[in-house]
Amino acid sequence: MRFETRDLLVRDAVPGDVPFIVSLWSDARVMRFVGFPNGIPTAAEDVPRRLERGRGSDALLIAQLRTSERIGQCMLGAPDADGVSEPDIKLHPSFWGRGYGRELWAALVDQAFLRTTCTLVRGTPSVANIASIRMQESAGMNRVGYGVAGFPASMRDFTTPVPHYVYEITRDEWARRRASR
């Protein structure tokens, strides 16, 4: 087990999770806000290689209820050369609107600061994804910018540019917020 929240357990993904991960990545509802309006064209045989490659903070993680029911896939996000960590969450639509995203995002922010050397956590929710924007804000992150994520020419047939906000929280801001809880 990587970590726990009030309602969730977060663990490393294992080969038995591959069909679930593929179902998330290929679901247009899940992927439309990240530039894949029809889902990511993912072959099940590609995911185990990703499981093997991802170690430490870049490992694919599974979020599940305490009943062991999987609700989503996430990643802590290893800090880059500038000390920036960018966690990621993909929740199954049947679990949207229940507060699990907020709970999981807050835990990922905490874990990024507790388990890595990052100095800043960044999120880039689509301007159209109100739930993700609220998730960022509920974790104490501040909107600091705007951008548009694009894809290489080789991917443009199945992707769309993603206008997004930039949310950030520094280690110092996080520590102050945590101390006041």
Query: Could you tell me the end-to-end alpha-carbon distance of the chain, in angstroms, rounded to an integer?
Result: 25
Q: What pTM was computed for the model?
A: 0.93
Mind listing the pLDDT tens digit for each residue in 107-143?
A: 999 999 999 999 999 999 999 999 999 999 999 999 9
Query: What domains appear along the chain, each with residue ranges and CATH number?
Result: 3-180 (3.40.630.30)
State the Cα–Cα distance between residues 29 and 81, nearest whole angstrom: 33
State the Cα–Cα distance between residues 126 and 88, nearest whole angstrom: 13
- CB 12, CB 2: distance < 8 Å: yes
Mind listing the pLDDT tens digit for each residue in 25-55?
A: 999 999 999 999 999 887 677 787 777 766 6
